[in-house]
Structure 1
Amino acid sequence: MGQVTSLLHREVYVMSQVDRLLDLGVGTARRWIDGYERRGRQYEPLVRAETTGSDAVTWGEFVETRLIAEYRSRGVAVVRMRPAIMALRREFETDYPLATARPFLSEDGRDLVLRIQDETVLSPSLRFVVRTNQNVMLSMEVQRFQQDAEYEETDEVRRFRLFGTPNVVLDPEYGFGEPTVRGRRLRVSAIAEAIAAGEPRDDIKATWDISDDIVDDALRCSRVA
């Protein structure tokens, strides 16, 4: 019997899909996930431990890229996170420390992240946790990430709510990771295309046994579908 691949290690996307689903500029996912070369200088990847050249993206890599994307408007190069992420990987003994709950949900985990940030001299604008008075709190970026992330018993991110909608998710086990109606293989793109083709809303609802709320959420999320 072959070895079972964990959800985080499962290949789900290609680089261009990640750019689209996370609303990143073309090529951004590749630079963050696999590194890049510019003017003869090689820049190490932010997400992977080392450059592989593979266009395939695992669910864990996608999740970590999703969190990193929260920081892109800060005006500080996110590649500077690399030393801290590498140290978190070693401390928590996982390939995907940003895709698991352990570094963020327990007090001990947050204290350890804080120490690693200090040791790796991580810029304040890129920190995952911050000290407020006597407490160690999650950064605003991590808080926004966790508002959409759904964890399972293994403490791994299992799926994402898309744009905060209750009915539309990115789930690696449905629709090849494309936006789908929660718990179903029904892609958001199919609903949006039916509406665009002029099919009556009531017919669409009856065909797929969905509610008005699901149709509305699907249309809201269709721009990345």
Structure 2
Amino acid sequence: MAEAAFGIGVYTAPEAAQMVGMHAQTLRRWLLGYEHAGIDAARRHEPPLWQPQYAPDETDGVLLGFRDLVEARIVHALRGKHIGLPTIRICIDRARAIVGADHPFSTALFKTDGKTIFLEITRDLDEPHLIDLKHSQGVFNRVVAPSLADLDFGPEGATRWWLLPGKRTIVADPACAFGQPIIAATGITTARVAQAVAAEGSVSSVAQIYEIRPSLIRDALTYQQQRALRQAA
């Protein structure tokens, strides 16, 4: 698995959900599909919203790549505005056809021309919450664009996620530490930094050990604290 994950990133469903700020069970439903009762009370199976970068198996369960993480973040933002999953499913299918990629929201084309694409994929959709947003600033500017603003993109798609608003110190980069959050300048994971501070008892001691600025240690701790709060919520 480690060799396959190089440059792709690898996250368990709980790890990915914690980074996005959602429930792991919901994320699994999006990636594995789910059953529900239809209007006629018969059980219906809904397929996955998209195919994850790693095929689910009995050993590892659900594993996500970095591009899955970005897709989940945007879908979660749409769900946060009470836009229904059937509508989101149509949007993903239409975006996939327009962009020509299995993970359309995390492509470079969506980054550069996302507003135009989103207007096209939401055309004629009968979704009250989506219509309300269109009558204001628009769903793209209010919901989707903020989820793209702190991402870096390469020719193929999203390459990095800067995890602290307004800063470029803590990053998730699938080419480093399998996509786990790291201090960008050093490659040290934020989890390792937090463990070191707990063991050493101070930021200054850990800064000396790793020979990096104390402010970077504090940023790593800030991210870990924010992530823990999202998990608690």
TM-score range, shorter chain: 0.7 to 0.9
Q: How does 1:84-103 map to 2 (within 5 A)?
A: 84-103=91-110
Higher normalized contact order (CA 8 Å, seq sep 6+, divided by chain length): 2
Which secondary structure does the structure 2 equivalent of 1:42 belong to?
strand
The offset of 1:222, in angstroms, is: 0.9
Structure 2 Cα separation of the partners of residues 60 and 140 of structure 1: 22
The offset of 1:126, in angstroms, is: 4.8
1:61 aligned to which of 52, 68, 75: 68
Which secondary structure does the structure 2 equivalent of 1:197 belong to?
helix
1:18 aligned to which of 8, 16, 19: 16
Letter in structure 2 aligned against 1:157 = A
Letter in structure 2 aligned against 1:184 = T
Does 2:118 align with 1:113?
yes
Unaligned ranges ≥5, structure 2? 38-42, 229-233
Which secondary structure does the structure 2 equivalent of 1:71 belong to?
helix
Letter in structure 2 aligned against 1:114 = L
Q: Do the aligned residues in 1 keep the contact of 2:13 with 2:24 (CA within 8 Å)?
A: no
Compute the TM-score of the two structures, normalised by the length of structure 1.
0.79
Letter in structure 1 aligned against 2:46 = Y
What's 1:138 paired with? 140
Q: How large is the Cα RMSD of the aligned pairs? A: 3.0
Compute the TM-score of the two structures, normalised by the length of structure 2.
0.77
Question: CA separation of 1:184/1:25 partners in 2, compared to 1, >3 Å: closer, same or farther?
Answer: same
What's 2:40 paired with? none
2:175 aligned to which of 158, 173, 176: 173
Which secondary structure does the structure 2 equivalent of 1:159 belong to?
strand
What's 1:44 paired with? 47
Unaligned ranges ≥5, structure 1? none
Letter in structure 1 aligned against 2:121 = I
The offset of 1:157, in angstroms, is: 0.9
Structure 1 Cα separation of the partners of residues 211 and 158 of structure 2: 28
Q: Relative to total residues, which structure has the larger strand share, 1 or 2?
A: 1
The offset of 1:123, in angstroms, is: 3.0
Q: Relative to total residues, which structure has the larger helix share, 1 or 2?
A: 2
What's 1:123 paired with? 127
Letter in structure 2 aligned against 1:118 = R
The percentage of counterpart residues that share the same residue type is 22
Which secondary structure does the structure 1 equivalent of 2:123 belong to?
helix
